[in-house]
Amino acid sequence: MPYLLPFRKVENAFQIVTGDFVTTEDGTGVVHISPTFGADDFKVAMQNDIPAMAIEDEAGNLVPTVDRKGKFISQIGERLKEGVTKYSIKTHKPLGVDDFYVKNYTNEDESNPDYKTTDVIISIILKEENKAFKVEKFEHTYPHCWRTDKPILYYPLDSWFIKTTALKDRMVELNKTINWKPESTGTGRFGNWLENLVDWNLSRSRYWGTPLPIWRTRDGKEEICIGSQAELKKEVEKSVKARLMQASMVDGQWTMVLHRPYVDEIVLVSPNGDPHA
């Protein structure tokens, strides 16, 4: 689809490459890969300089093709809606630009005879435009969240990593000097973990993980790592003064609740009892 192209090095995007995780025992021996669809995909894509799929939004920012709820962004939704109209594709209801989701991320009634998932709609459009040789359905395993039993949505996110691989050889060496009891733990489970060590993703989703104390200005030009509550209070006081608020505010009481599954809040209470967030 011409409107869905990588944001860089388009000439590298669509090509046939080899991967050692594809075998002749299962399937056809040919699989589709994308840098954002898993560890194996990402590794092979990086080795072959294959870019991720992204679209420029109205502000010129590069964004993934779906949001975090599995909904295709409006630019794609608009094109898919045009295709539904152009090729008179029957659907269970009139579809707007915000009605195209990755399968399993909606609560639609799939018993309707005209219900079609987005991938089916895309397949019909490609067939109508003579861009698909053959369309078939296959059942295959798919990862699900162990907490909710819902299918996992692969989504490209910026993350913070500790470069543990830089110390891998040294850690493997030191592990052999530890007197493990039982010995099999050090040579087996822990030793194998070190041998296959990858860089450690420190920043997980705020809801499930511990938020990092990294604070940024809205324009992203300034960044600071807060190391303690005392340091945070100091920075808050600087911010208060910078905003030309009453000096008495700085000397008032202030409280904060750390590590909640949503944005932390700092409340300043002035001497007269007025709270300011």
Identify any residues that bridge with 72 across adjacent strands, giving them in sequence order. 66
Q: How confident is the model at residue 241 (pLDDT cuts 50, 70, 90)?
A: confident
Helix axes 74-86, 118-128, angle to 10 degrees: 60
Q: For residue 124, give the nearest of 170, 80, 172 by alpha carbon.
A: 80
The answer to whether 131 touches 4, Cβ cutoff 8 Å, is no
In angstroms, what is the C-alpha Rg of the chain? 26
Side chain identity at residue 236, one-letter code:
V
Q: What pLDDT is recorded for position 240?
A: 73
CA pair distance 203, 212, nearest whole angstrom: 7
The answer to whether 226 touches 213, Cβ cutoff 8 Å, is yes
Average pLDDT over residues 247-275: 53
The structure's pTM equals: 0.64
Q: How confident is the model at residue 205 (pLDDT cuts 50, 70, 90)?
A: low
Average pLDDT over residues 201-210: 68
Three-state SS annotation for 193-211:
HHHCCCCEECCCCCCCCCC
The answer to whether 79 touches 1, Cβ cutoff 8 Å, is yes
Least confident of 30-44, 101-115, 247-261: 247-261
The answer to whether 70 touches 101, Cβ cutoff 8 Å, is yes
Most confident of 127-136, 223-232, 259-268: 127-136
Long-range contacts of 13-22 (CB under 8 A, 24+ apart): 13/50, 13/51, 13/53, 15/48, 15/50, 17/44, 17/47, 17/48, 17/50, 19/44
Tokens of 33: 């890969």
The answer to whether 57 touches 7, Cβ cutoff 8 Å, is no
- The alpha carbon of residue 185 and the mean position of all alpha carbons in its chain are separated, in whole angstroms, by 34
The answer to whether 66 touches 155, Cβ cutoff 8 Å, is yes
- Mean of per-residue pLDDT scores for the chain: 80
